[in-house]
Structure 1
């Protein structure tokens, strides 16, 4: 299982290979001016020179980054598909799933960081998802380079209240694990969710995702998305969230400001943990200049 990750260590940028276990040393390669996204898109070999060993007791000095995240937020687009899973299929299921935009690269958060949502949110929920990563070449062709795992924080309450407000419901931060799996999208992913409030367990549940859980053909929906020239700026990195199983909202739980959400993608050894934070005022609290 080939895995790529990027990080910062002692103010320098590095990348590494493999899924590092907790408490083990890290072997890092200086990134320098290497275009990792471009090399992966071309199927070229990654450099392996000048390696640096980080001892286990210095792991706290390493800051992991979202995989292949460009330095300029505008060079990354974060979006995905909604209601894709078989468990959500009903008589009103459309022939093609709704696509949504969460934002540019600066909406991505790694484990340990806060996930921001509007204070006016109606009912937030976690969504444990597979995240596909594509890199658009100079010929404006998006090339799949790997997958990761994420949490598509969503104001499902707003969407339920007004089905036309999907675009607003998705404008919350998205969590993504730093590990990019360099292989085909996974068929079967299992795991569980834990939510804590004030340090105490508040809700837990299991989830199943992966391509076999989808009602739609993955190739069909991705090709439909990338048929739009407006998305195909050369060099752009796309993070595509492919939908989620049932969530804590469907289990009757209502998330609150300060809740900590941990997604354990058990089948793939990945854990993602973030605190939800209301980070913008409700519309009635806004203050206009000169008021």
Structure 2
């Protein structure tokens, strides 16, 4: 079962569900967040039962919605400050290679000596998949922003004027809502473009936090349920309508050095992230970057991330913002 949010032909928000290849509008609900709250209030049956209770309306053409730019992120929050975008890195087999090469190129470690990235990656290999009920090693973790940084599918991802790079990161994002008891409730997963500034990060790995404070996009569809163990998609960049670069990306636990449960535990162990009503979009990392192949994106390049198990591809062009002076006024 997949969920989307969109604008209907009258400009009103709507929700649709895809089951067995058919997509229908869900009656009487305009946001996935409201649907989730109703499912929580019902106390049993989950999202599927909540949809059954609402009933289904007209057939929805998802491809047409994508062409017309009417798709929204598959979940948002009525107060964007209560949607948290976070992520983990060095979680996929092979994901340390690019980071390790960056550090060695900067002379941070002599040849033959492990960089901090490689050390953390090995920690994941050794203890990132604990037995059920046990705690594994902490992953690398980063904060990306709140709901204000989320760009709808099909719309331009802004890169700030001060950025040194505008690079895609094809990932899987876990989608969660915190219930009234402070318990994280997983809704499912979506494709994500965890857009980052890799040149800034390459200057010094302590700039990682700066490199992640960028916009991002996820969706268009929310795949309700558990994550497939093997995910094999394709990441592409188009320039002037032609493919500039493309490469497969792998995810799912068969291709990761951590379990999803371990990554979830080390995020939600903090009370800060268990506040009732909040939404969490947590990116699980990648091993595939165009930056690693020497690609430098330009304005109007288009990112495309697709994997058939997640429905429609996630597409976004790049837009470079104008410089904005920082002016601090005192209020004494």
Task: Report the TM range for the smaller structure's normalisation.
Answer: 0.7 to 0.9
Partner SS state of residue 294, structure 2: coil
**Of Structure 1 and Structure 2, which has the larger fraction of its residues in strand?**
1
Count of residues in Structure 1 that have an aligned counterpart in Structure 2:
284
User: 1:46: which partner in 2?
Assistant: 50
Q: Distance in 2 between matches of 1:38 and 1:158?
A: 40
Q: Distance in 1 between matches of 2:326 and 2:12?
A: 41
With structure 1 as the length reference, what TM-score do the two structures score?
A: 0.86
Counterpart of 2:229 (choices 187, 191, 195) is 187
1:32 CA drift (Å) = 5.4
Counterpart of 1:70 (choices 69, 77, 82) is 77
Closer, same or farther in 2 for the Cα pair 1:270/1:55, shift >3 Å? closer
User: 2:262: which partner in 1?
Assistant: 220
1:1-291 to 2 correspondences below 5 Å: 2-9=1-8, 10-18=10-18, 26-31=24-29, 35-40=34-39, 42=43, 43-44=45-46, 45-48=49-52, 49=54, 51-53=56-58, 59-60=64-65, 63-89=70-96, 91=114, 92-94=118-120, 95=123, 96-281=138-323, 286=325, 288=327
Moved more, 264-273 or 185-194: 264-273
Which of 1 and 2 has greater Rg?
2
Moved more, 104-113 or 76-85: 104-113
- Return 5+ residue gaps in structure 2 as ranges: 98-113, 124-137
With structure 2 as the length reference, what TM-score do the two structures score?
A: 0.76
Q: Distance in 2 between matches of 1:155 and 1:17?
A: 35
1:288 CA drift (Å) = 4.5
- RMSD of the alignment, in Å? 2.8
1:58 CA drift (Å) = 11
**Of Structure 1 and Structure 2, which has the larger fraction of its residues in helix?**
2
Q: After TM superposition, what 4+ stretches of structure 1 lie above 6 angstroms from structure 2?
A: none
